Amino acid sequence: MTFLKRYLIPRLIQYVLVIWLGITVVFLIPRLTPSDPIMAMIGMMRARGSTLEPGAMDGIIHDLTELYGLEGSWLDQYWAFWGRLFRGDFGVSFFNFPTRVNQLIATAMPWTLGLLLTTTAITTIFGNIIGGLAGYYARKGWSRTLDAVAMVIRPLPYYIFAFALLLLFASTLVFRWFPITGGASLGALPTFTWGYIKDVLWHSALPALSMSVLGGAVVFQTMKLLVQNVNAESFVQYAKLGGVTEDRIVGKYVIRNALLPQITGLALSLGQIFSGALITEIVYGYPGLGMLLYNAIVRADYNLIMGITIFSIVGITTAILVVDLTYPLFDPRVRYY
């Protein structure tokens, strides 16, 4: 009962409030933009040579406004929006009519999840291990070299580093090892075969490398500093004086204790990691949520923007909640009450 009152219920309330506030902001922001998606669609119809009479145009505008949930005041739209949301219906995409937003997101989601989960696992595992060893052996030459490289790479924005890799390994006359854009070869049919899987891995190599190097530099430097602080603690010095082997000290005492703040840091950085994945996808033309969101913003596709953003808000908030609830399992000093 104490666990429910003092730990679980307050965090669940906070979880619901964050999602509600985030979704409300997502609902308001597109409607504050000067672009009108209905008039933009009418403009596209005219650009294609369609001639509409004034009466027919008014009818089309009314039908599109009702179809896309833009009828009535903002309050009416807000209640209707939550009604569709609880039914799991994000409506129809403006510029991919009549495809529904759910279908577009379902198509793009596996690409983003595959890239995001893979790079996050790589940066977390290798960044912490290498950073921990570099922090413990801080006076070694290789440790100082890695730290210098990380200091140069870490401040770079995702899109700058992605462009640099693109120019170096895909667009120059010397190195054309990887494709410039796309998630698979043009015309390739999605099949569970080694040929298609190899093609997808080949196309995702540069996006994954871009995110892994930048994210790994952050994890590396953070872990290096944490290990140096833990290494100066009295219990580590006592273990050294007590004749405990150095391998045991590094693995059981130093790195294990330094990992605890990294778990919290991972939860706090999930939003940054997700936004970095979206930016990287735009640079490489990767067919994930990032490219889909970019096209939705350019075309003022309200429903698609809201659908993608809501998925990201719920996903990131849920991941943070899971980390928060499971953190006492990693650190026995933390209790639920």
Q: What are the tens digits of pLDDT across the range 171-217? A: 665 566 777 777 777 666 667 777 777 777 887 888 888 888 888 88
Q: Delimit the domains of the chain by residue range.
A: 17-86, 110-287
Q: Are 100 and 91 in contact (CB under 8 A)?
A: yes
Question: Could you confirm whether domain 110-287 is CATH 2.60.40.10?
Answer: no
pTM (whole model) above 0.85: no
* Identity of the amino acid at 64: L
Long-range contacts of 156-161 (CB under 8 A, 24+ apart): 156/214, 157/279, 158/210, 158/211, 158/214, 158/276, 158/279, 158/280, 158/283, 159/279, 159/280, 159/282, 159/283, 161/210, 161/213, 161/214
pLDDT at 50 over 60: no
Which residues are bridge partners to 92 per DSSP? 100
What percentage of the chain has pLDDT greater than the value 70? 77
Report in angstroms the alpha-carbon separations of 186 from 84, 199, 293. Answer: 36, 11, 22
pLDDT, one tens digit per residue, over 209-256 is 888 888 888 888 888 888 888 887 787 777 777 777 777 877 777 888
The pair phi, psi for residue 92, each rounded to 5°, is: -100, 140
CA distance linking residue 67 with residue 212, whole number of Å: 42
| Per-residue model confidence (pLDDT) at position 175 | 61
User: Rounded to an integer, what distance in angstroms lies between the CA atom of residue 121 and that of residue 183?
Assistant: 20
